[in-house]
């Protein structure tokens, strides 16, 4: 094998790794200037906004975006862990009336498979974050969870995460300090 062939194989391997981590139905509109998805540790915001189209009836508002502890799309089903998207639009001022629709396996008790709320997407150079965090046991439904951001009838992005049993990702749950939930 030549050095040139090895470089091509390496490039293809890196590209394949990036493609394999995204779900086939993920989408990013050309209006989105930046997008990063990942797993995060829950935030104590102290601030809640009414969200009547959610099971809990409220969403958390955070002033500072929490860091992603993983940019993977596999999430342990543990209270205190969350997942989401940091994004910006390619326009000044960002967008303030973005509908976030989260579809997921049926939640325990209610059987709900979809929730939605209003959020915002930051301006270019100042991304905002929208995330879902597990606050209640009934939310720990295993399977694919899809976050779809839309405005004016247009889909801005769609990103899918897979929620799995905590025993499959104990180190990730441990990073948030919630390893007690693994037993």
pLDDT of the residue at 62? 83
How many domains does the chain divide into?
A: 1
Residue 14 belongs to a domain: no
Q: What is the pLDDT of residues 46-104, one digit of tens each?
A: 788 899 999 999 998 887 888 999 999 999 999 999 999 999 999 889 999 999 999 99
User: Is 4 a member of any domain?
Assistant: no
Give CA–CA dist 90/127, Å, rounded: 10
Burial 42-65 (b: 16+ CB within 10 A, else e): bbeeeeeeebebbeeeebbeeeeb
Residue 16 lies in a domain: no
> Is residue 84 included in any domain, yes or no?
yes
Whether 2 is covered by a domain: the verdict is no
DSSP 143-156: EEEEEEEEETTEEE
Domain housing 113 = 25-182
Give percent of the chain above pLDDT 70. 84
Structure confidence at residue 55 (pLDDT) = 95
The residue that leads in pLDDT, 9 or 90, is 90
Cβ(77)–Cβ(163) under 8 Å? Answer: yes
CATH of the domain at 77: 2.60.40.2390
**Within a domain: 83:** yes
- Asked, for residue 146, whether it belongs to a domain, the answer is yes
The pLDDT-based confidence of 16 (bands split at 50, 70, 90) is very low
**Is residue 1 in a domain?**
no
pTM of the model: 0.83
Q: Could you say which DSSP state residue 123 is in?
A: E
């Amino acid at each position: 094998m030549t050095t040139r062939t090895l470089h091509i194989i390496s490039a293809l391997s890196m590209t394949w790794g990036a493609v394999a981590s995204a779900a086939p139905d993920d989408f990013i509109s050309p209006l989105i200037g930046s997008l990063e998805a990942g797993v995060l540790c829950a935030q104590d915001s102290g601030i809640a906004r009414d969200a009547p189209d959610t099971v809990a009836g409220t969403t958390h508002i955070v002033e500072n975006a929490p860091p992603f502890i993983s940019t993977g799309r596999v999430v342990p089903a543990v209270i205190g862990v969350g997942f989401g998207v940091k994004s910006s639009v390619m326009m000044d001022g960002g967008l303030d009336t973005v509908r976030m629709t989260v579809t997921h396996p049926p939640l325990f008790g209610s059987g709900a498979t979809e929730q939605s709320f209003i959020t915002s997407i930051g301006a270019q150079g100042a991304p905002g974050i929208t995330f879902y965090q597990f606050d209640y046991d009934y939310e720990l439904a295993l399977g694919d969870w899809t976050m779809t951001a839309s405005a004016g009838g247009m889909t801005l992005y769609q990103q899918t995460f897979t929620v799995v049993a905590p025993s499959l990702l104990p180190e990730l749950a441990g990073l948030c300090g919630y390893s007690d939930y693994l037993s």
